[in-house]
A = this chain, B = another copy of it.
Amino acid sequence: MGDRQVPDIVVGRLPIYLRALTFLKADNREITSSQELGDRLGISSAQIRKDLSHFGEFGKQGTGYEIRYLENNLKEILHVDRMWDVVLVGAGDLGNALASYKGFAGRGFHVAAAFDADPDKIGHEMPGGLLIEDVANLEARVQAAGWKIGIIAVPADAAQSVANTLVGAGVIALLNYAPISLIAPSSVRVEQIDPAVHLQHLTYYLG
């Protein structure tokens, strides 16, 4: 504990722990152990204890972890003890799914605005009721609102340019769904989601 540079790979597991704790809480459980969490997540109990120890001492010997307490601490560590506005670019099929996704709210995120380039879409509402704005106004709106997180759900050939606009406007965290590796300044964090990449990882192991 007391480390001042936690490995990124450890940080990446914290949301998984948090998700598991929320799940247990919904099941009216009050206490859990590194062993139980590990079994559920397919991770060794030692690793969970080690990971958590970077941030403090959250458990009690002989007993384990109070779920609500550890959950709150993880939320704080991950900075999701607040709501983050997220700006969505691309109001296609995927954008629609994301805009109406109920799962964000409980986990710290709110899709604050959506942008598209298609004149037939601009001015209309997305399934969730969010207005589709003109991507021409993206930079100004992001700057004015001070949004820090962007989700990119446009075709691959538009993704880098959208990313550049977002970064230019002050966004410093990007979640990219387009099947392309974005290039961004090292001060900007990028996470990529590409189902084909995951599926191809799987097929390697299929005869």
Q: Are A100 and B109 in contact (CB under 8 A)?
A: no
Q: Are A194 and B19 in contact (CB under 8 A)?
A: yes
**Interface membership of A20, Cβ < 8 A:** yes
Q: Are B180 and A19 in contact (CB under 8 A)?
A: yes
Q: Are A93 and B127 in contact (CB under 8 A)?
A: yes
| Number of chain A residues whose Cβ lies closer than 8 Å to a Cβ of chain B | 60
Q: Are A196 and B12 in contact (CB under 8 A)?
A: no
**Interface membership of A144, Cβ < 8 A:** no
Most chain B beta-carbon contacts within 10 A, residue among A14, A15, A40, A173: A15
* Chain B residues with CB under 8 A of A181: 16, 19-20, 40-42
- 1/0 per residue, CB under 8 A from B, across A83-116: the answer is 0101000000110111011011001110000000
Given A40-B183, A181-B42, A107 contacting B204 (CB threshold 8 A): no
